């Protein structure tokens, strides 16, 4: 067990099991990042996050509550926190890194360097480092409205539910046709005018996200040429898509009202006309929808094309 900051300790499962040492060190709170709940911590304030140290683990989504737990603990006079996982080199180190970034205002690189100096055996897996980089890009917090975070969550769904027989409800944006009035820009089926998605559901794909993980998706030299024109919108899944997405890896996206073809989806990803790769991809062709902007008239919201 090492002391990272006054009152903040980083350790392993064996450190957490040594109750006498914890008490002697003044530890009052224990945050566990592991696959099983540790025994013998009844004397402490505890928080347990069930997570594995592998590439499929979604550590990013837990960072706000973990950092919050440490913050709240250290606000109590004479309190001290142990953050631990099984070996104390990856999961717990990632959480402590996030805490340093969030509270000390330092970069990911500086936080990693500081921890490495204190504990040279730290070895965070590459996926956790990627997630911490996203955490840094979001201002050392998790913004669930951020396009990159939405895309990240969709990627994690494909890893957790490879057969896609079950999809968590929270990945679906609300159906604008059943929601209340909003000033946000709407996109409607060009054929029947049915509302399909809001502007906030469009996922930016300006960063190069080609499918390095999928050997069968190698691109030809023609495909790799990056143009500047996107002919499709890539969106987060919307509630009306749910039935079409269950149990299949790819297929067509049809208007839920008139059955007009809007585009396609592929959980392995698709390449945009601009040359960028989006994974997973829910693609709506721009020539199949119309943009409807909200107009406020004396307190009444209307829309116009």
Q: Residue 150: inside a domain, yes or no?
A: no
Q: What is the pLDDT of residue 138?
A: 94
- Report yes or no on 204 lying in a domain: yes
- Regarding whether 192 and 99 lie in a shared domain, the answer is no
In a domain, 159, yes or no: no
Q: Are residues 254 and 187 in the same domain?
A: yes
pLDDT at residue 87, rounded to an integer = 95
- Report whether 215 contacts 246 (CB < 8 A): no
Whether residue 59 lies inside any domain: the answer is yes
Say how far apart CA 138 and CA 131 lie, in whole Å.
11
Count the domains in the chain.
2
Q: Which residues are catalytic?
A: 85
pLDDT at position 168 is 84
Q: Are 33 and 95 in contact (CB under 8 A)?
A: yes
Residues 137 and 174 occupy one common structural domain = no
Q: What is the pTM of this model?
A: 0.79
* pLDDT number for residue 303: 53
Note whether 47 and 134 are same-domain residues.
yes
Low-confidence residues of the chain: pLDDT under 50: 208-226, 295-297, 300-301
Q: How many CB atoms lie within 10 A of CB 73?
A: 21
The predicted pLDDT at position 246 comes to 87
Residues 18 and 103 both lie in one domain = yes
Q: What is the pLDDT of residues 110-119, one digit of tens each?
A: 999 999 999 9
Whether 268 maps to a domain, the answer reads yes
Give CA–CA dist 174/196, Å, rounded: 10
Is there a single domain that holds both residue 200 and residue 241?
yes
CATH code for position 133: 3.90.190.10
Asked whether residue 236 is domain-assigned, the answer is yes
Question: Rounded to whole angstroms, how far apart are CA atoms 126 and 261?
Answer: 39
pLDDT of residue 182: 67
Give the pLDDT confidence score for residue 71 in this predicted structure: 97
Q: 142, 161, 194 — which closes off a domain?
A: 142
pLDDT at 184: 83
Which pLDDT belongs to residue 157?
A: 85
The parent domain of residue 68 ranges over: 2-142
Q: Is 30 a domain residue?
A: yes
């Amino acid at each position: 067990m090492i002391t990272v900051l006054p009152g903040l300790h980083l350790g392993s499962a064996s450190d957490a099991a040594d109750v006498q040492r914890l008490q002697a060190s003044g530890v009052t709170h224990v945050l566990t990042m592991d696959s099983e709940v540790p025994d013998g911590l009844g004397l402490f304030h505890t928080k347990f996050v069930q997570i594995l140290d592998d590439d499929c683990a979604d550590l990013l989504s837990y960072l706000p509550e973990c950092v919050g737990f440490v913050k709240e603990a250290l606000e109590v006079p004479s309190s001290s926190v142990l953050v631990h996982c099984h070996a104390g080199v990856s999961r717990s180190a990632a959480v402590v890194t996030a805490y340093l970034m969030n509270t000390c205002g330092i970069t990911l690189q500086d936080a990693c360097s500081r921890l490495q100096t204190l504990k040279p055996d730290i070895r965070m897996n590459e996926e956790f480092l990627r997630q911490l980089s996203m955490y840094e890009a979001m201002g050392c917090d998790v913004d669930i409205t951020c396009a990159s975070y939405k895309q990240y969550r969709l990627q994690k769904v494909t890893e957790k539910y490879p057969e896609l027989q079950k999809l968590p409800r929270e990945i679906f944006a609300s159906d604008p046709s059943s929601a209340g009035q909003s000033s946000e820009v709407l996109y409607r089926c060009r054929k029947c005018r049915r509302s399909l998605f809001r502007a906030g559901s469009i996922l930016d794909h300006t960063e190069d996200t080609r499918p390095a993980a999928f050997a069968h998706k190698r691109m030809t030299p023609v495909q790799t040429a990056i143009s500047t024109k996107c002919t499709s919108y890539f969106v987060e899944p919307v509630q009306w898509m749910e039935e079409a997405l269950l149990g299949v890896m790819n297929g067509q996206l049809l208007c839920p009202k008139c059955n007009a073809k809007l585009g396609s989806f592929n959980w392995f990803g698709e390449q945009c006309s601009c040359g960028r790769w989006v994974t997973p991809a829910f693609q709506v062709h721009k020539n199949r929808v119309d943009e409807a902007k909200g107009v406020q008239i004396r307190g009444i919201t209307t829309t116009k094309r």
